[in-house]
Amino acid sequence: MKKIVLSSLLLLCLAATVSAQGNTLLLNAAGATFPYPIYSKWFDVYHNEHPNIQINYQSIGSGGGIRQVLAHTVDFGASDGPMSDEQLAQAGFKILHFPTVLGADVPSYNVPGVTAELNFTQKALAGIYLGTITKWNDPEIANANKGVNLPNADIVVVHRSDGSGTTYIWTDFLSKISEDWKNKVGKGTSVNWPVGLGGKGNEGVSGLVKQTPNSIGYIELIYALQNSIPFGKVQNAAGKFLKADLAGVTAAAAGAAKDMPDDFRVSITNTPGAAAYPVSSFTWLLIPAKIDDAAKRDAVKGFLKWMMTDGQTYNETLSYAKLPKPVVEKEMKAISLIQ
Amino acid sequence: MSTTATTIDRAAPPEAGPRAFIRRLRDGDEIAHVVTLVFAAAILLITSLLVYELWMDSRLSRAKFGWDFFWTRTWDPIFDHFGALPFIYGTLVTSVVSLMIAVPLGLAAAVFLAELAPRRLSDGIAFLIDLLAAIPSVIYGLLGIFVVVPLMRTVIGPALKAVLGKLPLFGGPNYGVGFLTAGIVLAIMVVPFIISVSREVLLTVPGDQREAALALGATRWEATWQVVVPWARTGIMGSVFLALARALGETMAVTMVIGNDPKVSASLFAPGYTIAAVIANEFTEATGDLYLSALIELGLVLFLMTFILNGLARILIVATERGGGHPS
């Protein structure tokens, strides 16, 4: 512990001396861990292109990001779930949401003897996570997977134990497709799970699923793609079974773009459209509407513009889905709200 | 443990020397006195500051739930209903299970190393044990996930079920993760503390004690078990409480193998949750004020638990010292 404190102090000193060199404008940001890989890439590339601007991002979690923005300890924050109305009211100053990239959750499972890609109806997923569907050969699962020999085995449900944006997306989806879920459990970064084991992080969940026969767990699409973890198809609002991919996630966002509210606080789970993957979500930057320091204000605006245009080209190499065009256009207009 | 330390009279006054030297020494003493006093006071200050912070930051939750916080089984961040019972239960159960495994194991190993093994072997092994005590807990967590959990699911669990499956303690489905697995991993983690400290204490038992017992006709085992171990009793207990303290506060290794499900279950196979683990897991993403406050109150509860257990340990040590007639 002492060592950790010492070395972090050393690092801080180092960081301080580095940033003190030259006339670099340092912006501090903190928040969500899910988009951290793309954010650090963006901030790095942006710093190379604009050597006078450096953005320092700490991935301390969405909750921490929101708290730090409210406490004015960072220039902007980041969150996987939009801020609630109470939180915005409590802030005392206006906070704008800017969607940056898209993420999605996929169901991964381990059923011995089953190699086929399973189809999960919305009812099946809600039932499994509510604990009302307990066997793999339940008709709700079997009817959507004709020809697959599902065992008469108990389903072991796995969820995230740490508070996370991944859980937010999953529970948001379940809340939309099941009244029971909405009333009994609700949506959030951590919830009171009716059943199941908790694994820490995507690696914890996928590890438990890999080890435990007859288990199912949800993980981030990015994590599944990068680690080649097989996963199943999910039924979308149009009734189609879709295997998650980046195009499907962007399609889900495009489906929501028409009714996008002006503050961008929108859920895009289960949006209409035959190609829309139903368990998708935006992740947001939280930016104060009023930034007193003119240099910082211009830097933030400049970065947002770059992020919406050039920045988006880095998304797919890191397995993040791109923002759909209409959303980008709307966000470009919203940048002028920062004053 | 302090009772076994021998005071050596190093601070004897110099027999001769110029007065100025003595004077300087005295001045140095004063400075040393002040410096050490400040450091000792700092410990007190840090502890009270810690309690104060936990107390203040948990007032929302304390005001809302009061004493019910200790008895409530729900932990629901969405509907803002928080109770600590499953976490207190999980923390206690895993710690008790770990001590039940680690104490006999550690004590036996310490007796062997101190009393029976050749000195060279004993020192060599003691070095390795100290090394074990220094391994970061996440490594033990990995050991738990890759070795203990599969073993638990395929070998230990089914075997226990076959023999003791009728008891509620070993009922219910066995996922591989749960109270028992967490207890086993914790036991592996704390056993080096018990061995290392107990061995040192056993080695400080004066040879006369052993020889006197042997001279009276005791066998080696009788001398060890009836004379040497009781002599070192206080120090051994100290090692056990050191182990308990680590088990209570362990976070990473536990959360990796306990299943993280806040439920109070009779079965050791069932998944559970501990206080330290839930704080580490949920603190970063806790957005609501009450939610955060409840997590901080959990920290306060953990502090209280360690405080009470340490107090009990003190009482136990004092009581056994009075009860036993051995000098210590």
Range of A35's domain?
24-103+281-337
**Using one digit for the tens of pLDDT, what is the confidence trace for B190-233?**
999 999 999 999 999 998 988 999 999 999 889 999 999 999 98
CA pseudo-torsion sign A324, A326, A332, A337: negative
Q: Are residues A161 and A70 in the same domain?
A: no
> Using CB atoms and an 8 Å cut-off, which of residues 157-176 of chain B contact chain A?
173, 175-176
What DSSP character marks residue A185? T
Residue A5 lies in a domain: no
Beta strands at A197-199 and B81-82: parallel, antiparallel or unpaired: unpaired
User: Chain A to chain B, count of Cβ pairs less than 8 Å apart?
Assistant: 95
A63/B149 CB distance under 8 A = no
Instruction: DSSP for B250-279, please give it.
Output: --HHHHHHS-------S-TTS----HHHHH
- pLDDT higher than threshold 50 for residue B82: yes
Q: A87 contacts in B (CB within 8 Å)?
A: 287
- pLDDT higher than threshold 60 for residue B254: yes
Q: B81 contacts in A (CB within 8 Å)?
A: 192
Q: Are residues A295 and A249 in the same domain?
A: no
B285/A196 CB distance under 8 A = no
Question: Greater confidence, B251 or B20?
Answer: B251
Q: Are residues A127 and A202 in the same domain?
A: yes
- From A257, A291, A316, the end of a domain falls on A257
Coil, strand or helix at A149: coil
Amino acid at site B285: E
- pLDDT higher than threshold 60 for residue B4: no
Q: For position A208, which CATH number holds?
A: 3.40.190.10
Buried b (16+ CB within 10 A) or exposed e, A227-252: eeeebbbbbbbeebbbebbbebbbbb
Q: Are residues A173 and A220 in the same domain?
A: yes
Q: A199 contacts in B (CB within 8 Å)?
A: 260
- pLDDT higher than threshold 60 for residue B170: yes
Taking the Cβ of residue B269 and every Cβ of chain A, the question of whether any pair is shorter than 8 Å is answered with: no
Coil, strand or helix at A106: strand
Greatest distance between any 2 Cα atoms in chain A: 67
Tokens coding A32: 């969500």
Amino acid at site A207: G
What are the C-alpha distances in Å from B179 to residues A30, B96, B97?
A: 35, 10, 8
Residue A100 backbone phi and psi in degrees, to 5 = -115, -55
What ranges in A212-324 are assigned the alpha helix state H?
221-226, 246-257, 294-308
Distance CA(A271)–CA(A267), nearest Å, equals: 9
For residue B285, what pLDDT is reported? 79
Closest listed residue to residue A221, CA positions, set A104, A320, A107: A104
Q: Are residues A82 and A117 in the same domain?
A: no
| Residues in CB range of B7: below 8 A, 6 or more apart | none
B176/A212 CB distance under 8 A = yes
pTM higher than 0.90: no
Residue A267 lies in a domain: no
- In chain A, which residues have pLDDT < 50? 1, 16-20
Residue B206 backbone phi and psi in degrees, to 5 = -60, 140
For residue B259, what pLDDT is reported? 92
Banded pLDDT at B7 (limits 50, 70, 90): very low
Amino acid at site A181: W
Partner residue opposite B256 with nearest CB, options A163, A192, A200? A200
Give how far B102 is from chain A: nearest CA, Å.
25
For residue A244, what pLDDT is reported? 93
Tokens coding B18: 């110029």
Q: Are A157 and A178 in contact (CB under 8 A)?
A: no
Output the average pLDDT for chain B: 88
Q: Are residues A117 and A153 in the same domain?
A: yes
For residue A99, what pLDDT is reported? 94
- Reported as type and span, the H/E element at residue B9 is none
Taking the Cβ of residue B2 and every Cβ of chain A, the question of whether any pair is shorter than 8 Å is answered with: no
B175/A187 CB distance under 8 A = no
B273/A185 CB distance under 8 A = no
CB atoms within 10 A of CB B19: 7
- pLDDT higher than threshold 80 for residue B68: yes
Taking the Cβ of residue B255 and every Cβ of chain A, the question of whether any pair is shorter than 8 Å is answered with: yes
| Residues in CB range of A295: below 8 A, 6 or more apart | A25
For residue B6, what pLDDT is reported? 45
Q: Are A273 and A238 in contact (CB under 8 A)?
A: yes
What ranges in chain B are assigned the alpha helix state H?
19-57, 59-65, 68-71, 85-111, 119-133, 137-143, 149-151, 157-164, 179-203, 207-215, 220-223, 229-231, 233-249, 252-257, 275-282, 289-323
Residue A292 lies in a domain: yes
Distance CA(B139)–CA(B226), nearest Å, equals: 38
Q: Are residues A237 and A295 in the same domain?
A: no
What are the C-alpha distances in Å from B185 to residues A118, A292, B110?
A: 35, 53, 20
For helices B289-323 and B19-57, give the axis angle rounded to 10 degrees: 130
For residue B154, what pLDDT is reported? 92
What DSSP character marks residue B216? T
Distance CA(B140)–CA(B146), nearest Å, equals: 10
| Residues in CB range of A17: below 8 A, 6 or more apart | none
For residue B322, what pLDDT is reported? 65
Classify residue A52 by burial, with Cβ atoms within 10 Å: 0-12, 13-18, 19+: exposed
Q: Are B91 and B276 in contact (CB under 8 A)?
A: yes
Distance CA(A57)–CA(A54), nearest Å, equals: 10
Percent of the residues in chain B that have a pLDDT greater than 70, as a whole number: 91
Edge-to-edge strand order for the sheet containing A241-242?
A: A119-120, A233-235, A241-242
- Reported as type and span, the H/E element at residue A54 is strand A53-58
Q: Are residues A87 and A111 in the same domain?
A: no
Distance CA(B35)–CA(B137), nearest Å, equals: 34
Q: Are residues A194 and A229 in the same domain?
A: yes
What DSSP character marks residue B323? H
Distance CA(A192)–CA(A51), nearest Å, equals: 46
Q: For chain A, what is the domain count?
A: 2
Residue A12 lies in a domain: no
Distance CA(A189)–CA(A166), nearest Å, equals: 7
For residue A185, what pLDDT is reported? 94
Q: Are residues A136 and A204 in the same domain?
A: yes
Distance CA(B241)–CA(B310), nearest Å, equals: 7
Q: Are residues A98 and A108 in the same domain?
A: no
Q: Interface of chain A against chain B, CB under 8 Å?
A: 33, 60-64, 66-67, 81, 84, 87, 154, 156, 161-165, 185-193, 196-200, 204, 207-208, 211-212
- pLDDT higher than threshold 50 for residue B327: no
Distance CA(A170)–CA(A218), nearest Å, equals: 8
Taking the Cβ of residue B69 and every Cβ of chain A, the question of whether any pair is shorter than 8 Å is answered with: no
Q: Are residues A209 and A130 in the same domain?
A: yes
Coil, strand or helix at A215: strand
Distance CA(A200)–CA(A159), nearest Å, equals: 9
**Using one digit for the tens of pLDDT, what is the confidence trace for B41-63?**
999 999 999 999 999 999 999 99
A190/B79 CB distance under 8 A = no
B150/A162 CB distance under 8 A = no
